[in-house]
Amino acid sequence: MNINDYLEYPYDPWIILGIRENASDKDVKKAWRKNGSPKTGYIYKAYQLLKDGESRKKAELLGPKPFREPSDALNTLKKHPQYKGPEKWLDQIRNK
């Protein structure tokens, strides 16, 4: 697999195979088999891109896939409790 194979693969190969980033060779093979052991197509390509430790390290170093739009980042931001004072809470009870 050369650099372009990784860059031109349009998806996150870990997501395509349904495995974690710390998956082992065994996990990758198992995931490929679970998907019907295809010999062509996106699943097969994902399998090839991740099949051994060195390939996975290359995939990791040539990733992650960028967002399509900046707004994609919004959904990944953590939510934080916002202090709004007692009245907002009391209004919820008053206007039940």
Partner 1 sequence: MAYIRHRKLVENILLKKVLNKISEAEASGKIAVILENPLWIADSPLLDDNDLWKKSAVYILEDFEAVTNGMSRPGSPGIILEEKGNPLYSWHLLTNAIASFYENNFVLMEKFSSMIPENTPPAVLKEVFSIISGKPSSSKKALSFAMEIFSRNTRTSESIELLQEASAYRDILITEIQKVIPLTAKENLLSAKKLYYWAVSRLVQEEPLSEYLEKNMECLGPGEASRLCSVASMQTDPDYALLAWLRSFKDVLWQKEISKEEITARSTIASELIRNVKSAELFTEQINSAAADIIQDINTALRNNYSDISLPDIKLKLPSAIDSEKNNKRFKNTKEIPGLFGELSA
| Contacts to partner 1 by CB under 8 A | 2-4, 7, 53-54, 57-58, 60-74, 76-86, 88-90, 92-94, 96
Residue whose CB is less far from partner 1, 2 or 40: 2
46-70 burial by CB neighbour count: b if 16+ within 10 A, else e?
bbbbbeeeebbebbeebbeeeeeee
List Cβ neighbours of 64 (8 Å cut-off, separation of 6 or more).
12
Residue whose CB is less far from partner 1, 26 or 77: 77
Shortest Å, Cβ 64 to partner 1:
6
